[in-house]
């Protein structure tokens, strides 16, 4: 049996969608279907009920799912132990975070951790959110720090992980000011003079958040640039190329200096939470110290009076 089949099955059990599961596993749908069928042949019974939409687990599939999860987890733990031994016994706690979150939030948090416990060793995997979610799901990292929107789901089975909210964030539309200091463009814009729109690439989490925010608002936007990186969108916005939705903390200096100004009121804002995900049962002693630290940070923020 190919161990990939088990991970495929666990992914399909979470998504209940062959297309989405194949995308998350980075294989074609036909290849993914063949691997699920191969696992069913090995098991000697159908694990998926394909007669419904969405698909669902068969009775045998429901019985096999916890076994598959345990096998995957055992393999990942064994791999981590082998890797640790190969590093001379040194233990690293790995964080996955999207690029902007890594720069804006994770780096300062890691500085705090180093000051508290100089013996901690950390590793950062910075990628797009989908890849970061996959990294946590497959055990390639212990922690995931990312933005979360209550109406735009992550490609992550949140029931398998605990979440700590470390702060709130706003995604706001910004542009450069004109000579009088007013926004060069103002939402919703005009049909005869559409606002040049600097958008996140399709499929990106923040693109879905912005699309949800724009739904039903009839904004007059004309897409001029697509990019996966907020850094690029920020640079283009500062150059006066158009409007972009950027996290408030990421552009704090530009807002304070007046280089960027909001292009719309709160109706055009998206509320996000800065969330840390982990499975405490998988953490070693150093990982639990990190988890406890962040839980304390969250509790302190919740108990602090609102400004």
Percent of the chain with pLDDT over 70: 93
With a cut of 90, say whether residue 164 has pLDDT above it.
Answer: yes
Model pLDDT, residue 7: 86
What's the whole-number mean pLDDT along residues 136-153? Answer: 92
Looking at domain 169-271, its CATH class is alpha beta
Q: What CATH number does the domain located at 3-86 have? A: 1.10.10.10
One of 3.50.50.100, 3.40.47.10, 3.90.550.10, 3.40.190.10 is the CATH number of 93-160+278-303, namely 3.40.190.10
Long-range pairs for 119-122: beta carbons < 8 A, 24 or more residues apart? 119/286, 120/93, 120/286, 120/289, 120/290, 121/90, 121/91, 121/92, 121/93, 121/286, 122/92, 122/93, 122/94, 122/95
What's the whole-number mean pLDDT along residues 217-238? Answer: 95
Model pLDDT, residue 98: 93
Give the C-alpha separation, 92 to 84, whole Å: 8
Model pLDDT, residue 306: 47
Decide which of 76 and 284 is more confident: 284
With residues binned 3-state (H G I as helix, E B as strand, rest as coil), the percentages for the chain, rounded to 5, are 45, 20, 30
Contact 223, 197 (CB under 8 A): yes
Model pLDDT, residue 134: 85
The segment(s) of the chain belonging to CATH 1.10.10.10 are 3-86
The segment(s) of the chain belonging to CATH 3.40.190.10 are 93-160+278-303, 169-271
**Token pair of 157 as six digits:** 């089975």
Cβ neighbours, 10 Å, residue 153: 11
With a cut of 50, say whether residue 96 has pLDDT above it.
Answer: yes
Give the CA angle between residues 75, 5, 132 to the nearest 5°: 65
**Token pair of 37 as six digits:** 């069928």
Model pLDDT, residue 307: 37
Contact 294, 276 (CB under 8 A): yes
Task: Name the nearest CA neighbour of 185 among 250, 237, 229.
Answer: 237
What's the whole-number mean pLDDT along residues 237-264? Answer: 97
């Amino acid at each position: 049996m190919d161990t990939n089949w088990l991970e495929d099955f666990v992914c399909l059990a979470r998504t209940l969608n062959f297309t989405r599961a194949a995308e998350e596993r980075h294989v074609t749908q036909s290849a993914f279907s063949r691997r699920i069928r191969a696992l069913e042949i090995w098991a000697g019974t159908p694990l998926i009920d394909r007669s419904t939409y969405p698909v669902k687990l068969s009775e045998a599939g429901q019985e096999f799912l916890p076994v598959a999860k345990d096998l995957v987890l055992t393999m990942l733990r064994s791999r981590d132990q082998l890797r640790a031994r190969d590093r001379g016994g040194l233990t690293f706690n790995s964080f996955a975070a999207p690029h902007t979150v890594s720069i804006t939030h994770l780096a300062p948090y890691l500085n705090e951790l180093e000051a508290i416990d100089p013996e901690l060793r950390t590793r950062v995997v910075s990628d797009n959110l989908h890849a970061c979610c996959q990294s946590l799901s497959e055990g390639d990292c212990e922690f995931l720090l990312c933005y979360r929107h209550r109406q735009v789901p992550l490609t992550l089975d949140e029931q398998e992980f605990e979440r700590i909210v470390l702060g709130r964030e706003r995604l706001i539309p910004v542009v450069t000011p004109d000579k009088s200091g007013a926004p060069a463009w103002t939402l919703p814009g005009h049909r005869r003079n559409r606002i040049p729109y600097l958008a996140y690439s399709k499929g990106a989490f923040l693109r879905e958040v912005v699309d949800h925010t724009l739904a039903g608002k009839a904004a007059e936007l004309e897409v001029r640039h697509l990019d996966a990186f907020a850094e690029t969108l920020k640079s283009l916005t500062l150059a006066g190329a158009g409007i972009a939705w950027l996290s408030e903390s990421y552009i704090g200096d530009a807002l304070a200096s007046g280089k960027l100004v909001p292009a719309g009121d709160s109706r055009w804002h998206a509320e996000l939470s800065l969330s840390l995900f982990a499975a405490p049962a998988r953490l070693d002693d150093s990982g639990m110290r990190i988890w406890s630290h962040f839980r304390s940070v969250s509790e302190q923020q919740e108990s602090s009076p609102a400004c």
